[in-house]
Structure 1
Amino acid sequence: MKLKGVLLIAGLVLVGAIVFYVKRFSPLSKSAGYATDVLNAAFAEQPVGYINRADSLGVTTPRLQHISLQLYPNIADGAFNGALRGLAGDKDLLLTVVAGQDGALGMVTEGTFDDALRSLCEALPDAKRIYLRWDPDMEVPVQRHSWQYQSPADYIEAFRHVAKFCKNARPELQIMWSPAGYPGTDEYWPGDDVVDAIGISMNGQSELAATAYPSDPDQRTALRRKLIRTRFIDKPVWVFASGGDSAVNTLLPDLKAAVADIKRDSGWIFQQYSINQPAGRAANALPLLGVYDPKLALTGSKSIHVEHLFVDLENIQTGGFAKDFEAIVRRGHQAIVTVEPWRDGKVRKDSSVLRNTVSGIYDDEFKSLFNTISKTNLPVYVRFAHEMEIPIHRYSWQSQDPVLYIQAFRHFMELGKGIRNVRKVWGPAGDRGSMEWYPGSDVVDFISIAIYGLPDKNITDPTKQESFETIFNRKAWRMRLASKPIFITEFGVKGPEDFQSAWLEKAAHVLAAHKEVVGACYFNLADNPEVWGDIPAPDWGISRSSLNRFVAALEDAL
């Protein structure tokens, strides 16, 4: 009995200790002593400056106090009161709030955090202005935090829930959407109706860990590019920086210089957007089907109505383009003409083909091209300097300044103005950050994206290729701010014939379902071996039988 009594007492002591620990330290406790546990040092940036288009793009040095808080589904009563005590009454307040548990985006959308959000809103002081910044740096392709590099649609849904809930509780709150400003920023844009301000960051730990894109050469360039990535969104922008006062003081002159650059180029940079369903083909109509088919293996099919030509400066100068184009017209086909502004046969040496374009150096060649195009009444889809956004140097116009690209694209299309059969095509690959290079709705009739099943050049197993649907959904989402119809001017899959046919049949169902896709052009050739080095270049070529199966599947799906 004595032993049992001792064990009982020991058990009670142990239970008491556990309860004390849970109450004192657990993030799910209801103890008022838990107040300090909501503080979070992961986002301790300082404000560098504030920019607003409405204020003529001047840089204002802000007076802003910043507190970063961690949110839990079952937050302690009064937990926020201590964390928010002692704030400076003469400063505005930036409140970074993170919900970092695994699966938190879905939990937020389902309302699991609503009680915690309500408690936070009730505890907020009567500051001059309070900015609520929720789960920042979401677009950076790392996973330091659970909400990063997730589905843009999932993030947006959760963000909108938080914004609407908190605005309802505290209407005077300013809701801040805060990407890092990394390539792909606009993919996570939640909408004008739930955002009052934007915050972008410099030197954050997440971005320093990211390796998907090369670093900018200096801070001024980095700031300029980050601000350009918010170009469609007419909201005030805050710039934050990690580090002490010296880091902020160093960044301020660079920010002012970057903003001065943007102000100079604002006519090219700032554009309106509308996320609407773009115009497309009629309900039961097939998309226009085409091929890039230099060997003419599929060109004679009755299902093909478009042929694709890749044209460089020398092709135009030697008359090769006119000859090839006229052959397409004789076959009664429309044409896609992809203009590659390089390989100048006149030996005008200059590494900047885009600057040469803007300067008018190639005007004679471009005017000749448009003159050839004007000799037919058939529509001609003219695509200039494609895949400009991929961070490589396969083409001379890739990885260049987006404003210079925009100027070059607009100059080129201006030379074809008034030619009635020209259809203006802007042709990114559809990779992250594509919209940074968007030249403007007035010079774009169609957006072209490229869909190749191979996600990585080192993959040799054809079954590891992505589906057409997966690639299309990802890339079409990135084009949503333009609201333009889509012409898939390049797509292809490698592998055995049965695999290619099955992949294409599934692609047909996607094309049938998306009326915004007005055309699709298959790349019926192997890729350029020079680009692939020691790895065999993928052969996208298909048989006439595979083409027929694709067309039949498309007709059946309508």
Structure 2
Amino acid sequence: MAGSMTLPPLTGFAAPPGDLPFGVYDPHGDFADDPNVQIEHLFLPWEDVYLPSLLEADQYARDRNRSVLVTIEPWTWTRSDRNTPAVLQAGISDGSYDANMSSICGMLNQFQSPVTVRWAQEMEDGSGQFIWADWEPETFIAAYRRMVDVCRTEAPEIDFMWSPLGLEGFEDYFPGKDYADVVGLSVFGLQPWEEQVLGSAQSFRDILVPRYERALQFGLPIVVAEVGYSGKQTYVETWHNDLRQDLADLTELQAVIYFNQQEVYPWPDGFGLPNWQVNKNVILETAMGQ
């Protein structure tokens, strides 16, 4: 929320308590010294990326005994230069973007860390955030399969994560088990939005379980590829303590990965850019209008 104030972090820059494997997207390096982080999450645009920097990321992960999840976003991060969905679809179909995927995967093939590739995430999202989302399912599936095939040619040993938000109907975008080793889901909790729009604050399980249950149909391991939460101190504390504990009944859940950054796309209903970063995600009650 605009102008909101925050409290200091609850537990410092440390993984939440529990035994479930934990990872982070951590562009500020807040979790650099935490030995309980097992997965390093990278986000890459497939245009305008400096490929040699990936080897530095591999070294960073190896130094900390972490595997690597690489989300490849099929666009440039320069907003003014981004394509339209139609241009992206045509370029993938005619092979114009094969080289983009090939060059990145060729570099990933040099990694000594275990690597999983997550291409074009949250494809059923209709918010307008991503130019690869809300396509006709058959169009997306054809594009996804082509990119996996291109990547496998360069990096035959890496795994692939197919990663919807987890909304109803996301199964229409499933590319088949030959093209996915794991299913990724996204789970974000924003207390003021939940209270205003849904009528009450939600827990981690409230949001996760319906998505998890939908994903079981594929018979694949499940990972929360992105998770973040922001609200009052008690809300943040509850999510923090629930993130890796009391989940034994979710037998296919393999890991949770925290998105340790401010949101980059406006939350619906005028709630701005929530800050999921662990030292900035507690909102003072006065900032929530209470």
Scaled by the length of structure 1, what TM-score is found? 0.43
In structure 2, C-alpha distance between the alignment counterparts of 1:349 and 1:541, rounded to whole Å: 30
Does the Cα contact within 8 Å between 2:83 and 2:131 map onto a contact in 1? Answer: no
SS of the residue corresponding to residue 205 of structure 2 reads helix
Q: Residues 512-531 of structure 1: matches in 2 within 5 Å?
A: 512-528=248-264, 530=266
Amino acid in the other structure paired with 2:256: A
User: Which is richer in helix?
Assistant: 1
- 2:86 pairs with 1:371: no
- Select which of 212, 216, 220 maps to 1:480: 216
Query: 2:41 aligns to what?
Result: 308
In structure 1, C-alpha distance between the alignment counterparts of 2:180 and 2:151, rounded to whole Å: 12
Amino acid in the other structure paired with 1:356: G
Is the alpha carbon distance of 1:417 and 1:531 closer, same or farther for their aligned partners in structure 2, counting shifts above 3 Å? same
Does the Cα contact within 8 Å between 1:290 and 1:521 map onto a contact in 2? Answer: yes
**How far 1:386 moved relative to its partner?**
0.7
In structure 2, C-alpha distance between the alignment counterparts of 1:409 and 1:316, rounded to whole Å: 20
**How far 1:299 moved relative to its partner?**
2.9
- Select which of 53, 67, 72 maps to 1:339: 72
- Select which of 476, 490, 494 maps to 2:226: 490
Is the alpha carbon distance of 1:470 and 1:347 closer, same or farther for their aligned partners in structure 2, counting shifts above 3 Å? closer
Query: 1:430 aligns to what?
Result: 166
Deviation by residue 1:336-383 (Cα, 9 ceiling, x = unmatched): 111110128898777432332232211112111111111123221211
Amino acid in the other structure paired with 1:314: E
Aligned residues: 261
Query: 2:129 aligns to what?
Result: 394
**How far 1:332 moved relative to its partner?**
3.4
Deviation by residue 1:91-110 (Cα, 9 ceiling, x = unmatched): xxxxxxxxxxxxxxxxxxxx
**How far 1:491 moved relative to its partner?**
0.9
- 2:157 pairs with 1:412: no
Does the Cα contact within 8 Å between 1:355 and 1:404 map onto a contact in 2? Answer: no
**Unaligned segments of structure 2, at least 5 residues:** 1-17, 283-290
Does the Cα contact within 8 Å between 2:54 and 2:108 map onto a contact in 1? Answer: no
- Select which of 280, 296, 301 maps to 2:29: 296
SS of the residue corresponding to residue 501 of structure 1 reads helix
Is the alpha carbon distance of 1:349 and 1:538 closer, same or farther for their aligned partners in structure 2, counting shifts above 3 Å? closer
In structure 1, C-alpha distance between the alignment counterparts of 2:185 and 2:77, rounded to whole Å: 26
Deviation by residue 1:403-456 (Cα, 9 ceiling, x = unmatched): 010011111111222635411100000001000000011111000001112388
Is the alpha carbon distance of 1:463 and 1:292 closer, same or farther for their aligned partners in structure 2, counting shifts above 3 Å? farther
Q: Residues 39-58 of structure 1: matches in 2 within 5 Å?
A: none
Deviates most, 398-407 or 308-317: 308-317
Q: Which has the larger radius of gyration?
A: 1
Deviation by residue 1:183-228 (Cα, 9 ceiling, x = unmatched): xxxxxxxxxxxxxxxxxxxxxxxxxxxxxxxxxxxxxxxxxxxxxx
Does the Cα contact within 8 Å between 2:45 and 2:74 map onto a contact in 1? Answer: yes
Amino acid in the other structure paired with 2:258: Y
Does the Cα contact within 8 Å between 1:454 and 1:464 map onto a contact in 2? Answer: no
Is the alpha carbon distance of 1:350 and 1:497 closer, same or farther for their aligned partners in structure 2, counting shifts above 3 Å? closer
Is the alpha carbon distance of 1:334 and 1:297 closer, same or farther for their aligned partners in structure 2, counting shifts above 3 Å? same
Amino acid in the other structure paired with 1:296: G
Greater RCO (Cα-Cα under 8 Å, separation 6 or more)? 2
Query: 1:403 aligns to what?
Result: 138
**How far 1:535 moved relative to its partner?**
3.1
**Unaligned segments of structure 1, at least 5 residues:** 1-284, 547-558
**How far 1:461 moved relative to its partner?**
10
In structure 2, C-alpha distance between the alignment counterparts of 1:482 and 1:495, rounded to whole Å: 33
**How far 1:326 moved relative to its partner?**
4.5
- Select which of 429, 440, 444 maps to 2:176: 440
Deviation by residue 1:74-122 (Cα, 9 ceiling, x = unmatched): xxxxxxxxxxxxxxxxxxxxxxxxxxxxxxxxxxxxxxxxxxxxxxxxx
In structure 2, C-alpha distance between the alignment counterparts of 1:503 and 1:463, rounded to whole Å: 18
Scaled by the length of structure 2, what TM-score is found? 0.78
Query: 1:470 aligns to what?
Result: 206
Query: 1:537 aligns to what?
Result: 273
Deviation by residue 1:439-479 (Cα, 9 ceiling, x = unmatched): 01111100000111238857579994311112222001212
SS of the residue corresponding to residue 271 of structure 2 reads coil
